[in-house]
Amino acid sequence: MFEKMMLVGEYDVRIAKTGKEALRSVADSRPDIILLDIVMPEMDGISTCRQLKSDAATKDIPVIIVTTKGETEKVEEAFTAGCNDYLTKPINRLNLLEKINEFLGQRS
């Protein structure tokens, strides 16, 4: 939720509380970018990312993992699952906006 507060006024932000809810939301709304935490109920962020990247309809949507899990094995697992970038909390608002704009600019 903290990330949403950081992005209010900059973007149209939608929140999903679980990995499964995120998958349903992405299917319905087709976002330009996805921010995922690793720690989520029902399906963690890495599994959610893996599923998004294995689906032809969503594989090109950039995924940024934003989490407290900074262990090397988690970072490697996330990139193997297909995430485009990985940020550890606490995050700097300007850094987050810069990363988002970088990926959105690549899609133009």
Q: Considering the domain boundaries, does residue 29 fall inside one?
A: yes
Q: Considering the domain boundaries, does residue 39 fall inside one?
A: yes
pTM for the whole structure = 0.90
Number of domains composing the chain: 1
Q: Considering the domain boundaries, does residue 46 fall inside one?
A: yes
- Tell me how far apart the alpha carbons of residues 35 and 19 are, in angstroms, rounded to a whole number: 11
Q: What is the CATH classification number for the domain harbouring 53?
A: 3.40.50.2300
Q: Considering the domain boundaries, does residue 108 fall inside one?
A: no
pLDDT digits (tens, 9 = 90+) for 27-44: 999 999 999 999 999 999
Q: Considering the domain boundaries, does residue 73 fall inside one?
A: yes
pLDDT digits (tens, 9 = 90+) for 64-108: 999 999 999 999 999 999 999 999 999 888 889 999 999 998 654
Range(s) of the domain holding residue 63? 2-102
Q: Considering the domain boundaries, does residue 52 fall inside one?
A: yes
| Residue 4 Ramachandran class (φ > 0 left, ψ -120 to 50 alpha, else beta) | alpha
